[in-house]
Amino acid sequence: MISRGIWQQKCRNAIRRWLRSCAAQTSPLSPSPVVSLGNSSYIGFCSQPIVSRYAMASFSMVNDKLMDLNIPYSIKRSCFSSHALLDLPASGIVSIPLAQTGEGIAECELLKWFVKEGDQVEEFQPLCEVQSDKATIEITSRYKGTVSQIIYVPGDIVKVGESLLKMVVEESQGSNLTSNAPDDMKSMGAEVCDSSIQSSDLRHSNTGGVLATPAVRNLAKQYGVDINHILGTGQDGRVLKEDVLTHAVQKGLCKEPSSLSVNSVEHFQGEEKYSHTLAADGWQYEDKTVPIRGFQRAMIKSMTLAAKIPHFHYVEEINCDALVKLKASFQEENRDPEVKHTFLPFMIKTLSMALSKYPLLNSCFNEELQEITVKGSHNIGIAMATPHGLVVPNIKRVQLLSILEITKELARLQQLALANNLCPEDISGGTITLSNIGAIGGKFGSPLLNSPEVSIIAIGRLQKVPQFVDDENVYPASIMTVNIGADHRVLDGATVARFCNEWKLYIEKPEQLMLHMK
C-alpha cells in the first residue's frame, strides 16, 4: 500500500508538471501524451508480475484555463500482497501421489503408463493403471499440465502416498491455487508460471529430475546408479541407455562396454533371455526369479489364512439329465446373439434357492469377536482363472435375479476379469464361492475356503456314466460331482448334507425351482 501511494503521488506530480508546461504555451494541448514511470518491473513477495493500468485524465483549458481532454496514461506499479500462493510449489511443479485405492490397501503394482514424459495432460485424464490385491484401478490427473518426470516403471511396487510422477501445471492453475488474492494479481501469477514453464521445462534442476524414459530409468536402477548424476547426450540433455552403460563402466559397476552391448541392450529392449551352458551331462538352464504380483499376492494371503481353518468336505453326485434338456431348450429359444446359455447360471440360481432354506452357509465368521454374521444378500462369488491370476468376482443379490439376468452379469464379469479391469465393488462383499473347476477338467476338487466365508463349492466335469435303475437296467446319465468345503467351527456335517440334498433336488427337478421362485 505504501509503495502504491508513492507511485501514484509521483504520477500526479508528473501530470502537474506537464500541465504547467502546456499552460505556458499559446498553442492548444497536443493530444495523448503517455506518462511512463520508468522501465523497471516490480514483483511483490507473492511472485506476481507487473500489470499496466490505463486511465483517462480529463482536463480543460479555455482562455489559458484547462479544457476537457481525454489523455490516456499508463502506470506500471508494483503489487505487494499478504496473500501467499497455496499448494503451488516452486516453478509450478506438482507431484501426483498414489492415492488410497481401497480399505486396507498399502501398496499397488504399477501395470502400465498411459502418458510419457513431455506429454500434455488434461484434467481427469488417466495417467496410469495400478493393481492392488483386490482390483485394477486407473489413476487420473488432478491438474492440467505437462509430464516432467515419471518416477516408476511398470512392474514396480508403489506405496500409497508415494509420488508416481511430477507435472508442470498449466498457467491457469497457478492463479487458481491462490487464496483470496486480487483478480489482477491472479492473472499476473499465471504469466510467472508460464515463463517458468518455458525456462525450466527442459532443465532437470527445476523439473525434479533428468529427462529419460522409464526403460532407461529401470536400467539405471539395475546397475545401482543415480540417473541424476549421469550426463545425458540426447536431445535437451536426455539420458540415453548408452549414457547409463558408459557411466556404469566408468564407476566399475560392470565390465567392458563390448560385453554390455548384447546382454544389457537385449534386456533393455524387454526381451527375455534364457542363458544356458553346455555341461558334461547335458544342458543346464539358469533359474528365473518371478516376483509375486497382483491377484496372486491376494491368493497367497487368502490361502495362508485358509490353511488355519479346520475344513470339512462333503462330496455328492448329481444327475443333470433334466438340466441338460433345460439348457438345450433355452438355447433353441434364444433370440439374443450376445447371450450364451450355459449350466453355470442355473447352478448359481438353484444354489441361491437352497441358501434361502439353509442361510447359515451364507455367513461369515469373525474369529476375534467369536461372532457369526448371517448375510442377507446372496453375493455368490465365481472363481475365475485369468492370465493375471485367480480372481473371485461375485454376483450381487442373486436371490433377486432371474436366470437370464445372472447369465448377462456373469458374462460381464468374465469379460472384465480377462481384461484385468475388475473394480473393487466386483470382487468385494462375497458371501459364498462357487468354483467351476470342471470347465477345465477333473471330476472334483477339494476347495479351500475364501475367508471369512464359511463355505465353498467345487463343481466337477459333467460326464456320461452308466447308471442302474430299479429294474436293474443300465442307462447313460449325465453326472456331475460337487464337493462342498465348510468351516467346521461354524457348520457341522448334518447341516451341510441337508443343504446339499436341497440343492440337488432343485438341479435334478427344475420344476421344483419354479414352485419356489418369487
Question: Greater confidence, 375 or 290?
Answer: 375
The 3-class SS string of 72-99 reads EEEEECCCCCCCCECCCCHHHEEEEECC
CB 50 within 8 A of CB 76: yes
Question: Greater confidence, 61 or 285?
Answer: 285
Reference 264, options 289, 244, 280; nearest CA is 244
Predicted model pTM: 0.56
Residues sharing a CB contact under 8 Å with residue 397, sequence separation 6 or more, in sequence order: 377, 378, 379
Determine the longest span between alpha carbons in the chain, in angstroms. Answer: 138
- Judge whether residue 311 has pLDDT over 90: yes
Write down the catalytic residue from 83, 267, 313, 488: 488
SS3 for 29? Answer: coil
Identity (one letter) of the amino acid at 203?
R
492 is catalytic: yes
336 is catalytic: no
Identity (one letter) of the amino acid at 163?
S
- Judge whether residue 199 has pLDDT over 50: no
Mean of pLDDT over the chain: 74
Residues sharing a CB contact under 8 Å with residue 281, sequence separation 6 or more, in sequence order: none
- Judge whether residue 180 has pLDDT over 50: no
Reference 79, options 46, 55, 37, 53; nearest CA is 46
Question: Greater confidence, 500 or 428?
Answer: 500
What is the spatial distance between Cα 447 and Cα 164, in angstroms, rounded to a whole number?
A: 39
Q: How confident is the model at residue 351 (pLDDT cuts 50, 70, 90)?
A: very high
Write down the catalytic residue from 184, 226, 492, 516: 492
Q: How far is CA 133 from CA 1, 296, 298, 351, in A?
A: 57, 8, 5, 28
Question: Greater confidence, 20 or 194?
Answer: 20
Question: Greater confidence, 90 or 154?
Answer: 154
Q: How confident is the model at residue 91 (pLDDT cuts 50, 70, 90)?
A: very low
pLDDT one-digit tens code per residue, 448-506: 999 899 999 999 999 999 988 877 789 899 999 999 999 999 999 999 999 999 999 99
Least confident of 47-56, 126-135, 323-332: 47-56
Which letter, b or e, does each residue of 155-194 get, where b requires 16 or more Cβ atoms within 10 Å of its Cβ?
Answer: ebebeeeeebbbbbbbbebbbebbeebeeebbbbbbbbbb
pLDDT at residue 514 in the model: 79
DSSP string, 270-308: T-----EEEETTEEEE--------THHHHHHHHHHHHTT
Supply angle C-alpha 208, 212, 213, rounded to 5.
125
Identity (one letter) of the amino acid at 220?
A
Burial zone of 107 (CB within 10 Å; 0-12 exposed, 13-18 middle, 19+ buried): middle
pLDDT one-digit tens code per residue, 382-424: 999 888 888 899 999 999 999 999 999 999 999 999 988 888 8
pLDDT at residue 415 in the model: 92
pLDDT at residue 482 in the model: 95
Residues sharing a CB contact under 8 Å with residue 321, sequence separation 6 or more, in sequence order: 477, 478, 508
Strands 394-395 and 380-382: antiparallel
Mean pLDDT of 38-45: 37
pLDDT at residue 386 in the model: 86
The percent of residues in the chain predicted with pLDDT above 70, rounded, is 68
- Judge whether residue 320 has pLDDT over 90: yes
pLDDT at residue 288 in the model: 82
Most trustworthy range by pLDDT among 35-44, 282-291, 294-303, 499-508: 499-508
CB 135 within 8 A of CB 427: yes
pLDDT at residue 194 in the model: 43
DSSP string, 374-388: E-SS--EEE-EEETT
Question: Greater confidence, 12 or 469?
Answer: 469
